[in-house]
Amino acid sequence: MSATGLSLSKAALFTVVSALVASRAAAFEVAVKRVHAPTTIVTASIDVRDMLPDRFKRLVDEGGVLHLRVQAELWESRPVWDRLVYPTIVRVFRLARVTSGSQISIGDSAGATTTQPSVPNPLAMAIELGKNDRIDRSSKYYVHVLATLGTLAEREADDVGDAVFGRESESNSLGSLGRLVFRTMIKVSDYLQSVSAETNTKKMTGAEILAP
């Protein structure tokens, strides 16, 4: 092969590798920034990055709705069987284009709805895992997080919610709470199409988690 041909081959290989690295860097992912107990509650600070792969961006731009489900668990690391310290915590976010413009509405199952110019990157959240009295300073722990982004059959979910709790316009405060819990318990298997990412933190001592 000539020197020119070899140089072209190297350039082509470099382009392919760069594209792969760039696509991997822009992939949907979840990261735990910190696990600590600023009060009496152990809290995980979590970032979900690059939430809109092309196929989902087109769906939102065309008026579709996405749901982001974030599941967080604190585990105690033990020699034989690791132990789940608290029940699994699930947060669900609903993302949709605002009808009257190009902004994005982000509804949180924790109760808040915000409007943003675009989807935040990263989407940062603080998830409360449980009371700090279950943490032993000398034991080791890690947090497992699973994030799933995808589409749901929303009309079907609404119909089931109406049947169980009454229509939103007619339901009392108890019914409204029931609807909120129902939506929070959306399972990964409910998604029509989805992409998922998960991570485990490094192992940390209880003393690290409880440190001020």
Over residues 90-121, the pLDDT tens digits come to 998 989 888 766 789 998 888 788 899 988 99
Tell me what the pLDDT averaged over the chain comes to: 78
Confidence (pTM): 0.73
Verify cis geometry, omega within 30 degrees of 0, for the bond prior to 122: yes
Give all domains of the chain, ordered by start, each with its CATH number.
27-152+191-210 (2.60.40)
- State residue 62's pLDDT score: 85
Residues of the chain with pLDDT under 50: 6-25, 155-175, 177-182
**Contact, 145 vs 32, CB < 8 A?**
yes
The separation between CA 37 and the C-alpha centre of its own chain, rounded to angstroms, equals 21
Q: What is the chain's alpha carbon radius of gyration, rounded to the nearest angstrom?
A: 21
Distance CA 52, CA 57 (A): 5
**Contact, 70 vs 76, CB < 8 A?**
no
Percent helix / strand / coil, the chain, rounded to 5 = 30, 40, 30
- State residue 43's pLDDT score: 97
